[in-house]
Amino acid sequence: MLKIGEFSKLSHLTVKALRFYEKAGILSPEYIDGNTGYRFYETGQLEAAAKIKAYRGLDLSIDEIRLICSGADEKQILLAKAKELTDDKKHIEALLSSINHILEDKEMKYYTVEKVIPKTLVYYSETVLEKYGDIMEWIPSVGEECLKLNPDIKCAEPNYEFCEFPDGEFKEKDIFVRHNEAVTHTGRENELIKFRVIPEAKVLSVLHKGAYDTIGEAYSYIMSCAEQNGYKPAGLARECYIDGIWNKESPDEWLTEIQLPVVKAEM
C-alpha cells in the first residue's frame, strides 16, 4: 500500500487535493490507520485518480464527477458539459464583439445588462394615441384616474413603471399603448383602470439617452444582443421612462430603459 505522499507523487495530485477529494467522496483512501490517522492507497486507485484529474481538466464540477463515480452515464454528463461550454463560447464571442466595437469606434452607445424582474402586481391602462410623443402627457392623466378611483393606492418600492406597445409593429400614428405601474395591492377597476399580475421575467436591458425619435437604434441593438447570446423574445418590450420632459429641459438628457423579456432559443 502507498502512503498519501507516495500516492501523491505517482498520481500527480497534491496531498491537499487528495484530502479534498476524500472529503468530497470521490476518492477515499483504501485504509486509514485508527491510531495515527495515516492514509494509505492501493496502486489500483491510480487509474481512478487519473480519471478524476482528467475530468477536472475538462472543467467538470465535483458534483458531476461524483455522479460519474456513482454510476451515472458519463456520455450524458459530457454532452451536457459540451453544451454548457458551447453556450459559454457564444457568450464570450458576443463579449469580444462588443469589446472590439469599443476599440474600433472609441465609444459604445449601448450596454446590455441581464436581470430578472420579479412577479409584480400592476395597475394598467390602454389607449390609442395620435403620435408617440403624446405618451408623456397621457401617463400623468392615468395616474390621476387611478388615485381618484383608489385614494389609498400605493406604488410599490422600488418604483416600477413602463409602457408596452401591443401592436407588434412600429407605427408613426394611431399608436396602441399600455401603461403599467407596480402597486402594493389591487383596487377598484373601471373602463380605464385595470389590475393584473405580471409573471417573473428574465430581461435584457439597455439605456437609451436622447430624444424618442432615435430610440429605434436601441431596439435594434437589444435584438441583436439577444440573438448573439442565444435568446429569443418572450413578450413585449417594456419602456421605462427615467428622465424626460417632466424633469429635463433638453431632449438630449432624456433617459429611457428598454427591457426585452427573453428565454433561451431552442437549439
Could you tell me if residue 231 is inside a domain?
A: yes
Could you tell me if residue 89 is inside a domain?
A: no
- Is the peptide bond between 199 and the residue preceding it cis, with omega within 30 degrees of 0? no
**One domain for residues 41 and 134:** no
**One domain for residues 27 and 136:** no
Q: Which domain holds residue 197?
A: 113-264
Look at residue 210 in the predicted model and tell me its pLDDT: 86
Look at residue 101 in the predicted model and tell me its pLDDT: 61
Write out the E strands in the chain.
2-3, 31-32, 39-41, 113-117, 120-129, 161-164, 175-182, 194-198, 201-209, 231-233, 238-243, 255-264
The residues, ordered by sequence, that sit 6+ positions from 125 with a Cβ below 8 Å of its Cβ are 142, 145, 146, 178, 179, 192, 193, 194
Our count of domains for the chain comes to 2
Could you tell me if residue 63 is inside a domain?
A: yes
From first to last of its 267 residues, the chain has per-residue pLDDT tens of 889 999 999 988 999 999 999 999 999 999 998 999 999 999 999 999 999 999 999 989 999 999 998 889 999 999 999 988 888 887 787 777 767 766 665 555 778 889 999 999 999 999 999 887 788 889 989 999 999 999 999 999 888 999 999 986 667 788 899 999 999 999 999 999 999 999 999 999 999 988 887 888 888 889 988 888 889 999 999 999 888 877 888 888 889 999 999 998 775
**One domain for residues 137 and 67:** no
Long-range pairs of 163-168 with CB within 8 A, sequence gap ≥ 24 = 163/135, 163/139, 163/238, 163/239, 163/241, 164/236, 164/237, 164/238, 164/239, 165/236, 165/237, 165/239, 166/126, 166/236
What CATH number does residue 120 fall under? 3.20.80.10
Can you give the pTM of this predicted structure? 0.60
